[in-house]
Amino acid sequence: MGKYIGRNIPYGLFESQDLSSDADGTKTIFPLIYNVPNSASILVIYSGSVLQPVVDYTITEAGSKVQFNDAPDSGLSLHILYLGRELLVPSTIGNSPLLVQIEADGIESEYEITTTLTLTHHGLIIFKNGVQQRHDHDFSITETNKVSFIPPPSNGDKLDFYIVGAERSDLVTVGEGTITTSKLDDGAVTPDKMNLSFSTYSPTVTTFESMVSSTIVEEADYQEFNTHVKARIKIRTTLSGTEDNKIRVTLPINNDGSAFISSSATIVSDESIESGIVRWGSDNSVDIYRQFGVNYTLDTHTIEISVEYKK
């Protein structure tokens, strides 16, 4: 006897479906007795040969039908083997399915299942006298918690309803590089959803030596994600040309002592200033100063600071 290689299937059976009599040489689409998530969830055997998923057939209409690229010929064997029905999204609590048992009265064809769960044929396995019933062949779900049998069970038939959860048939593996801008709805991706929104904080601005004044023009804000922090702030300050004439701005979250991942201090007023004016003051602040020996006049500038560092 052959052995199945793979994970154990906790609920469901490896059932087969014979499509041989339905093949006529022109038909390419066949209904499935179970919904499946993708073409790799079934094994298709045609005239003794195993067909290749996607290349020879695909799954259509939300997993309810199989479509062949070439119509199977009449008179040849065509079978489908379902490779287990996996419970992907459980809606019950615990490791065991919920069991509801009812004895048929021979009159009623519809039975209401007492449960707070919403029943779907994906998450419901029904046995009548120990024989598994097929959806849309032996039963259907007419309302949220009502099951209708076709035909009505006989008097004394034992009905076992196993509620295993909600089986999702719309989950497929997303191929690498397949999510593009055109597949995203407008507004589907926002800074809030990606945790990219800036939060405000009130930094402390310290002046050194002969600095005349320093004021915050706009409220400072920052982003915190994983181990990194991004901060930005605008300051109105007067800078002269000596090295110790600087301002020190506290950071929203202490740095771990490493160098900046990225940093910039940009003059946003009309005046120009030399490059290379950002450096560390300590693990919880950043210093801004005028390049030494270039310009000794006192000039007032609006400086925009942007830093990214490790917390």
Q: What is the pLDDT of residues 7-26, one digit of tens each?
A: 555 444 457 789 999 999 99
Average pLDDT over residues 219-241: 79
- Total count of domains within the chain: 3
Question: How many angstroms separate the CA atoms of 30 and 24, rounded?
Answer: 11
Q: What is the band of 2 on the pLDDT scale with cuts at 50, 70, 90?
A: very low
Which one has a higher pLDDT value, 268 or 229? 229
Q: What is the Cα Rg of the chain in Å?
A: 34
Confirm if 249 and 288 have CB atoms less than 8 A apart: yes
pLDDT per position as a tens digit, 96-131: 567 888 999 988 989 988 776 667 776 778 889 988
Task: Assess whether 72 and 110 both reside in one domain.
Answer: no
- Residue 290 included in any domain: yes
Question: How many angstroms separate the CA atoms of 31 and 19, rounded?
Answer: 9
Edge-to-edge, what's the strand order for the sheet holding 146-149?
A: 110-112, 146-149, 139-143
Task: Assess whether 217 and 286 both reside in one domain.
Answer: yes
Q: Domain of residue 75: give its range.
A: 16-82
pLDDT at 198 over 70: yes
Last residue of a domain, one of 163, 191, 207: 163
Task: Assess whether 113 and 78 both reside in one domain.
Answer: no
Task: Assess whether 209 and 306 both reside in one domain.
Answer: yes
Question: How many angstroms separate the CA atoms of 122 and 127, rounded?
Answer: 15
Task: Assess whether 104 and 73 both reside in one domain.
Answer: no
pLDDT at 165: 62
If you average pLDDT over each of 87-91, 142-146, 255-259, which comes out highest?
Answer: 255-259
- Residue 145 included in any domain: yes
- Residue 219 included in any domain: yes
Question: How many angstroms separate the CA atoms of 181 and 106, rounded?
Answer: 57
pLDDT per position as a tens digit, 59-102: 988 788 999 999 999 999 998 988 754 444 444 434 456 788 89
Task: Assess whether 206 and 286 both reside in one domain.
Answer: yes
- Residue 155 included in any domain: yes
- Residue 191 included in any domain: no
Task: Assess whether 37 and 62 both reside in one domain.
Answer: yes
pLDDT at 150 over 80: yes
pLDDT at 172: 52
Last residue of a domain, one of 138, 163, 188: 163
B/e letters for 117-145, b = 16+ CB within 10 Å, e = fewer, are bebbbbbbbbebeeeebebeeebebeeee
Question: How many angstroms separate the CA atoms of 290 and 239, rounded?
Answer: 6
Least confident of 87-96, 167-176, 178-187: 87-96
pLDDT at 90: 41
pLDDT at 71: 94
- Residue 184 included in any domain: no
Residue in 39, 38, 41, 19 with CA at minimum distance from that of residue 30: 19
Q: What is the band of 241 on the pLDDT scale with cuts at 50, 70, 90?
A: low
Task: Assess whether 211 and 266 both reside in one domain.
Answer: yes
Which one has a higher pLDDT value, 108 or 167? 108
Burial class (CB in 10 A: 0-12, 13-18, 19+), 101: exposed
- Residue 183 included in any domain: no
Task: Assess whether 132 and 220 both reside in one domain.
Answer: no
Last residue of a domain, one of 110, 145, 163: 163
Least confident of 133-137, 207-211, 231-235, 258-262: 207-211
Average pLDDT over residues 140-151: 83
Task: Assess whether 115 and 60 both reside in one domain.
Answer: no
Least confident of 69-83, 132-146, 188-202, 257-271: 257-271
Which one has a higher pLDDT value, 134 or 278? 134
Task: Assess whether 264 and 205 both reside in one domain.
Answer: yes
Task: Assess whether 64 and 111 both reside in one domain.
Answer: no
- Residue 90 included in any domain: no
Average pLDDT over residues 256-280: 63
